[in-house]
Amino acid sequence: MKKLIVLISALVLLASCGGKKNNEQQEQQPVNKVENVVALTDAQYKNAGIETGNIENKTISSVLKLNGKIDVPPQNMVSVSVPLGGYLKSTKLLPGLHVSKGEVLAIMEDPQYIQLQQDYLTAKAQLSFNESEYKRQKDLNESKAASDKVYEQAKATYQTQYVLIKSLEQKLRLVGLNPANVTAGNISKSINIYSPISGFVSAVNVNIGKYVNPSDVLFELVNPNDIHLALTVFDKDLNKLAVGQHLLAYTNTHPEKKYPCEVILISKNLSGDNAAQVHCHFEEYDKNLLPGMFMNADVEISGANTAVLPDDAIVRFENKNYAFVQKGNRQFEMTEVQIGNSENGFTEIIDGAKHAGQMFATKGAYNLLMVLKNTADD
């Protein structure tokens, strides 16, 4: 019996000690701090330069970012070729070089140019004989001294030769030779290639000594008077643009260099990815802008009335945006906010509706963040 009493007493004592130990552990456990709330002393509040205010409503413009490439209408881009193949004898063209309409771009050589002039002069001499014979047979026929058949044959021969002459004249003009200047004493083995427009050389595809076929493109010329920027715009953004609207274009390599443009045409056709082409005209041409070059563009879009806070009311911390909501006298809570566009010292608060009526620290938010983080570190 004594053993039983001793055992019970020992168990009670052990339980008592264990409970006391647990209570001590609970008392020693620190109380968790609220890490997004900061309470300032009077001195801290004055030194932080804090001002408070509610969310306001203002009109904030947004920027629509687009991309596209430089394009030229077909009538302003010319591929220069030679109608009759030949060897390139000489050219001084380089990409980017300015040329004037009628200027000699290159000189070609080939035996077929000689043959063409020979055929023309031979046909011209034959035409003179055929014309005389035709007139003689006509006179004889009128006097009944020659049959109608002989007369008609002479007439057909003359007309056939006349057609041949006219055809050869056009071939000569096609290669840049004036038929009136082609004589037996000045047959040339070479022809000149002339520029059909005034503009800039965008490509040189041949070298001296190379044989060029009629289907080959020697040079590509661009008339810069109508060079334009073709932007890709998705259907959801088309209603934000209008003809006459202005924008700023820039390249990836030199984003600081801005090119003012004006929207001149908005395509009505959508591609497979629901995008349309918007054509813009450069207000000033720059010879560094070449067809096919990719560009970006910023279009300022008039915005609607929206909830805003001053820029000074918003701080960025750990890749998120915050503002400080006043919770009491000199007490503020750091609250995450969703921001949009900024303009004239104000930033759009996308989720402003849920913060309606709340008082924010409109100045001194950064100082509040520093105090809060220093307190948390301590």
- Residue 377: pLDDT band with limits 50, 70, 90: low
Between CA 23 and CA 30 the distance in angstroms is 13
Provide mean pLDDT across the span 101-128.
Answer: 95
pTM for the full model? Answer: 0.55
219 lies in some domain: no
200 lies in some domain: no
DSSP string, 48-96: TT-EEE--EEEE--EEEEEEEEEE--GGGEEEE--SS-EEEEEE---TT
What are the tokens at 321?
């945006």
pLDDT: which is higher, 245 or 290:
245
194 lies in some domain: no
Give the count of alpha carbons within 13 A of 3, CB side only: 0
121 lies in some domain: yes
Domain with residue 247: its CATH number is 2.40.30.170
Give the pLDDT confidence score for residue 188 in this predicted structure.
94
Give yes or no: residues 296 and 330 share one domain.
Answer: no
Last-in-domain residue among 275, 301, 327: 301
Domain encompassing residue 147: 111-188
Render pLDDT for 315-339 as a digit per residue (tens, 0 to 9). 999 999 999 999 988 899 999 999 9
Give the pLDDT confidence score for residue 76 in this predicted structure.
86
Give the pLDDT confidence score for residue 275 in this predicted structure.
92
Give the pLDDT confidence score for residue 378 in this predicted structure.
58
Query: How many residues in the chain?
Result: 378
| Main-chain phi, psi angles of 154, to 5 degrees | -65, -40
Give the pLDDT confidence score for residue 146 in this predicted structure.
67
Q: 126: buried, middle or exposed (CB in 10 Å: 19+, 13-18, 0-12)?
A: middle
209 lies in some domain: no
Give the pLDDT confidence score for residue 273 in this predicted structure.
85
Give yes or no: residues 318 and 373 share one domain.
Answer: yes
Give yes or no: residues 293 and 332 share one domain.
Answer: no
Between CA 37 and CA 175 the distance in angstroms is 86
What 3-state class would DSSP assign to 187? coil
H-helix segments, the chain? 2-28, 42-47, 111-142, 148-174, 365-377
359 lies in some domain: yes
Render pLDDT for 257-279 as a digit per residue (tens, 0 to 9). 999 999 999 998 888 888 999 99
Give yes or no: residues 284 and 323 share one domain.
Answer: no
Average pLDDT, the chain: 86
pLDDT of residue 13 exceeding 90: no
1 lies in some domain: no
- Greatest mean pLDDT among 53-67, 239-253, 291-305: 239-253
Render pLDDT for 162-192 as a digit per residue (tens, 0 to 9). 999 999 999 999 999 999 999 999 999 999 9
Contact criterion met (CB below 8 Å) for 252 and 296: yes
- Range with lowest mean pLDDT among 25-34, 59-68, 218-227, 334-343: 25-34
323 lies in some domain: yes
Q: How many domains does the chain have?
A: 3
